[in-house]
């Protein structure tokens, strides 16, 4: 996959692309990337990239000219273009999976009050928000999207470690423990050291349901749980959870 991020502050993203799992994915040619400084496409001598907003109001807006030239420089018309904005659809794991299937994505980071609507109309495929709050700029939102997407590209991370993660199968992940088996007088649940695989699987599923019921009951809505899972969830609800 090729990822181009268009930003006024490429240095915010550089460390991510040159570190850890991403650096290895780049080295193994699973991911290639470009960090494009929109300011390089400003045409005046001060490299101005923002101006006042028509109709008045506080703040400035990114000028369409430099953003458009930066988008053309990465041939954005032939890629999936994502503009990160609090005004977009809410980002989630299903959408990350969808993006992970693309050959090329371009992520456009806003600054100030955002970008000129004509740029959105002409270039942007998806407007995406990383949550119901306002960040000061799009770089951290772009990092959230890049991080969630690239790890789903086959070969970047072993498929097994992705299988039971939160949101896979619409449930949160079960609690996990490592050595030592007793830490600060707290014991690892007995079942996990029993060596009984079937019981471990059952315990983990119960914990996934319990946690989802507690923190994200919305994920269970309309899930149509059947058989043993249905029995487990009914038992948990009886014990005091909420549906």
Residues of this chain that interact with ligand SAM (CB under 6 A) are 84-87, 109-111, 113-114, 129-131, 133-138, 141
**CB of 46 within 8 A of CB of 107?**
no
Rg (CA), the chain: 23
95 vs 188 by CB, closer to ligand SAM: 95
Looking at the Cβ atoms of 55 and 240, the one nearer to ligand SAM is 55
Considering the complex, state which of residue 25 and residue 109 has its C-beta at the smaller distance from ligand SAM: 109
Residues 23-31: contacts with CB under 8 Å, at least 24 apart: 25/150, 25/153, 25/155, 25/156, 28/155, 30/1, 30/150, 30/153, 30/155, 30/156, 31/1, 31/2, 31/3, 31/150, 31/153, 31/156
CB of 57 to ligand SAM, least distance (A): 9
Q: Which residue is nearest to ligand SAM, using beta carbons?
A: 110
Give min distance, CB of 84 to ligand SAM, in A. 4
Closest of 106, 151, 84, 85 to residue 2, by C-alpha: 106
Q: How far is the CB of 145 from ligand SAM (least distance, A)?
A: 9
Nearer to ligand SAM, 17 or 138 (CB): 138
| Smallest separation, CB 9 to ligand SAM (Å) | 11
């Amino acid at each position: 996959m090729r990822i181009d991020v268009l930003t006024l502050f490429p240095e915010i993203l550089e460390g991510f692309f040159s570190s850890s799992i991403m650096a290895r994915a780049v080295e193994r040619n699973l991911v290639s990337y470009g960090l494009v400084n929109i300011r390089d496409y400003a045409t005046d001598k001060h490299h101005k990239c923002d101006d006042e907003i028509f109709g008045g109001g506080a703040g400035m807006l990114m000028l369409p000219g430099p953003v458009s030239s930066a988008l053309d420089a990465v041939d954005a018309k032939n890629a999936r273009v994502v503009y990160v904005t609090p005004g977009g659809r809410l980002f989630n794991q299903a959408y990350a999976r969808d993006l992970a299937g693309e050959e090329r994505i371009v992520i456009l980071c806003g600054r100030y009050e955002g970008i000129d609507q004509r740029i959105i109309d002409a270039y942007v495929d998806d407007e995406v928000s990383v949550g119901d709050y306002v960040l000061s700029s799009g770089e951290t939102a772009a990092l959230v999207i890049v991080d969630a997407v690239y790890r789903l590209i086959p070969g970047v991370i072993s498929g097994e470690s992705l299988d039971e993660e939160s949101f896979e199968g619409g449930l949160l992940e079960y609690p996990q423990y490592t050595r030592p088996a007793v830490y600060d007088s707290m014991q690892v649940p007995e079942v996990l050291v029993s060596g009984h695989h079937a019981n471990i699987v059952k315990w983990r599923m119960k914990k996934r349901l319990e946690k989802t019921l507690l923190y994200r009951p919305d994920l269970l809505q309309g899930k149509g749980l059947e058989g043993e899972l249905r029995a487990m969830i009914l038992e948990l609800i009886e014990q005091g959870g909420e549906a």
